[in-house]
Structure 1
């Protein structure tokens, strides 16, 4: 969850969609129908002078002169690379665009480090994090974040590619835009769902995997045949919701994975948000999870393992079924690794698993927010905020997005066609592209899904399914079609952190974190009910109903802003 995608332990991200704007290179023709007319972009080769640079009001051209700034990612589970050479994109930017990013490392102590930086006023110049993280909201309220509005007309990409309604939704209470969105889109970007180990599935005679009963029976067969050598069901980091949140969506039509997140903490019923603890489908799903836990059909360290451990298990083929908010990133890596030595190995994705009798078309393992997941902000400590914005705007445009996903021009691609899409060359290397995308994942901070998804599919759609990029294939056929639009439910539902409602939110967040672990590892169904009954009583004493009423108002207001009512 890039993703419950994607910073606060409950943020839905995942990662990844897995899953930009006019920037760029001139569209050089290479004999494949590309345009030779230069695009109107904000870029220049390193060392070149911007002819318009003589005017004080002219846009600064990224790459025309050196740019250096400090950067920090406000997530406990990741840091930016210590050295720019550690990831292909940053290495390219350093060598070709005269960019030097000095990464500030939290090494897991992000909350403490941010508190120290805020107290001292010694802030990074760029901060990447959760869209509504309370610390970032405090920085905005205290005038420590730069408003981006003065740059929107000067640098074309964000304004071109981001829907104006979405930009309005992203604005702060003073009406200004402080946040540069990551993975904003005009269609589904969901990467949540179920991944199945192909070799194990074939060895167990390919039984049906459609209902929860099917899943339970299959996991039992895995346990019986492989014992402790294989994890029957891998839910990734359950402390972030992840796989158990995906399971929850299969116990009632219209369930939202987002219901478990820190900025919802409730279930939609009769056009209002109601208690998660009293939701019958949540109780049923937690009983199912606890049953899997008691019978050792689910990872026994799901609340404590780090993501490196999850990847290691997948890479060695020791997982039968894997579920999460963004399983495509790790599963695609593991698939490509396993098939190197065994063509019959690897992974595939399946349609949403659901309780028997439900309509599968109304089951949504994940939703998509048209504003994406994370955000990037520029602080008032920046020596030249406009140049940092110019860099971000280039990065979210065609050239920046294409280099992030396919490497530098001249290898897998050369020039752009009349639709600003990259022209792929005969040297296109699918394995290299997969590796580039995986390695660049943690520095893709202003992703433009509206641009890059069509660019990816342009190449993949020209090939038969079995030869397509693993992630692209299953996103287009499984994860994108199974998602629902949760944009209205995913924005501005967090109250002021230091307010009464903010205190209630934090108490409910702590309670849900505790309850998820206790109920998922409960000794019986009766114990699950006891845990959730007590949680409801505690929540009511904290003011849960008041928070749900306020969030309902915000959700309905968001729907109005987006023209959904």
Structure 2
């Protein structure tokens, strides 16, 4: 009599059985299946081992917002052949976000809001890294790996994970362009530096290729260049170019020139105050003298990188303390117009003994670190995509692109196709936009692998690269010494750095050596009153920790 309830119960039982069967099949069977049909276990719940490529589990379309803390970064994902190929392969699309103006202001605004994009890439040395970790705004990569993708431990370097481990035992960021002590042992012959002293080839040779290692030779050559070449295509020559002045100083007039002077970082196990080294002070006074002699253009005090790149492309600088990698596009343009108008690397400022420079090679800290935001829209897909990019397969894809489009195996070796190689060597900007290979997307690039895959360097880049060989040195133990911004020493260090940023242009613009000395001595007193001794004591302890970490990494 009561048949309807029994029928209803029977139907419910059949549906439940089907659901149980379907779920069991999907979770115990095909790990590579997509979620498109909605009848499988969530991909993040699939149990994986270190040998499983987590990114293969789920390839459904997803777009991550990726913040790059460099206003000059020009590239878009999905325009070129390589990024299209990676999206096709992994299902991941990327929306890059780049600051329109001041990077520090943009980062601070995002941190203050408590809302960050999915991925964040910035210099490891940026105060924002510590702020994000301390503010609980980013996720521990090791915990994400434990939960969603053990492949992380197969593709990452244990020494680099140890280096970036925080006091809570977690790792929040992974570096690019990083070389551990073992990397130096393995790839030492291929390791170079990007730090160079550059001169415009045709002008320098017309002057007789003079020696610019001494203050006298340096000033004399700048003066001769200005006299022989007062303008370049109707625009005034800029005798000496350098990086931009910012809140904490100027890279060219700080660690760049100090490395050229081979000023030590430590002596007998104690950190050395490089800023008070007599050789450094002497060369700061040399730059001051250059200004008094009318050899420093006003441009160098106000220009930022976009303005500098425009002037480099015009060949308006005679000499520059600058990174060879930061003028690749401009160097190509100059070479195409006139091969003799390019920039070449020569021996620049040196100490009184004319010792060889000790230039910064890749350190274990790398160049940038990439972190995953606590607000990330899909934790599993995020860590798996990061691991793919870190892996050798991901490195190969970001370096070579898609087989048959940008590269192929030729004579038993993976190589760029002739058309792609020609574009890479003649127009890097067009190469990036059209093909997107050769680490156009450098966020996770492993520069230890790049030289193995790269075609032999050609002019106008070979001479720049070769000049640095044998001069590059690992300075890893001196990385990450600065105290955190919220600690007592961190606040002191920030104030000292900012004070130096105010003082440096005043030193260069001083009307006499006597005025320079007055400004300099006042700064030394001021930095002591701001807590310099306390900061140095903190850095010394951190340095000793770093030395121990590196010793452990070499075992």
User: Paired residue for 2:200, among 197, 200, 212?
Assistant: 197
* Structure in which a larger fraction of residues adopt helix: 2
TM-score of the superposed pair, with normalisation by structure 2: 0.79
Instruction: Tell me the CA shift for residue 563 of structure 1.
Output: 0.7
Let me know the Cα RMSD of the aligned residues.
3.6
Cα distance in 2, alignment partners of residues 162 and 521 from structure 1: 47
Cα distance in 2, alignment partners of residues 532 and 202 from structure 1: 37
User: Paired residue for 2:377, among 378, 383, 404?
Assistant: 383
Q: 2:246 matched to 1:254? A: no
> Is the CA contact 1:117–1:123 (under 8 Å) kept in the aligned structure 2?
yes
> Is the CA contact 2:257–2:349 (under 8 Å) kept in the aligned structure 1?
no
Instruction: Tell me the CA shift for residue 253 of structure 1.
Output: 3.4
TM-superposition CA deviations, 1:216-275 (whole Å, max 9, x none): 2221110111124321211132435232236632674334xxxxxxxxxxx534432354
**Residue of structure 2 in register with 1:32 after alignment:** none
Instruction: Tell me the CA shift for residue 152 of structure 1.
Output: 5.0
**Residue of structure 2 in register with 1:558 after alignment:** 546
TM-superposition CA deviations, 1:41-81 (whole Å, max 9, x none): x9999x9xx99979712423288221212222335x44675
> Is the CA contact 1:72–1:80 (under 8 Å) kept in the aligned structure 2?
no
Q: How does 1:535-550 map to 2 (within 5 A)?
A: 535-550=523-538
**Farther-moved stretch of structure 1 (363-372 vs 528-537):** 363-372
Q: Secondary structure at the match of 1:284?
A: helix
1:44/1:350 CA distance change after superposition, 3 Å? farther
User: Paired residue for 1:234, among 230, 237, 241?
Assistant: 241
> Is the CA contact 2:213–2:349 (under 8 Å) kept in the aligned structure 1?
yes
Cα distance in 2, alignment partners of residues 63 and 495 from structure 1: 41
Cα distance in 2, alignment partners of residues 502 and 61 from structure 1: 43
Higher Cα Rg, which structure: 2
1:508/1:54 CA distance change after superposition, 3 Å? closer
1:518/1:78 CA distance change after superposition, 3 Å? same
Q: Which residues of structure 1 form unaligned runs of 5+?
A: 1-41, 256-266, 461-466
> Is the CA contact 1:369–1:485 (under 8 Å) kept in the aligned structure 2?
yes
**Residue of structure 2 in register with 1:280 after alignment:** 278
Instruction: Tell me the CA shift for residue 113 of structure 1.
Output: 4.0
User: Paired residue for 1:408, among 402, 413, 424?
Assistant: 402
Instruction: Tell me the CA shift for residue 162 of structure 1.
Output: 4.7
**Residue of structure 2 in register with 1:497 after alignment:** 485
Q: Secondary structure at the match of 1:504?
A: helix
> Is the CA contact 1:190–1:368 (under 8 Å) kept in the aligned structure 2?
yes
- Asked which structure has the greater RCO (Cα within 8 Å, sep 6+), the reply is 1
**Residue of structure 2 in register with 1:430 after alignment:** 422
TM-superposition CA deviations, 1:300-350 (whole Å, max 9, x none): 3223201111111111122211222x23331x3223212223233322222
Q: How does 1:95-134 map to 2 (within 5 A)?
A: 97-134=90-127
Instruction: Tell me the CA shift for residue 367 of structure 1.
Output: 4.4
1:202/1:506 CA distance change after superposition, 3 Å? same
User: Paired residue for 1:74, among 55, 63, 69?
Assistant: 69
**Residue of structure 2 in register with 1:483 after alignment:** 472
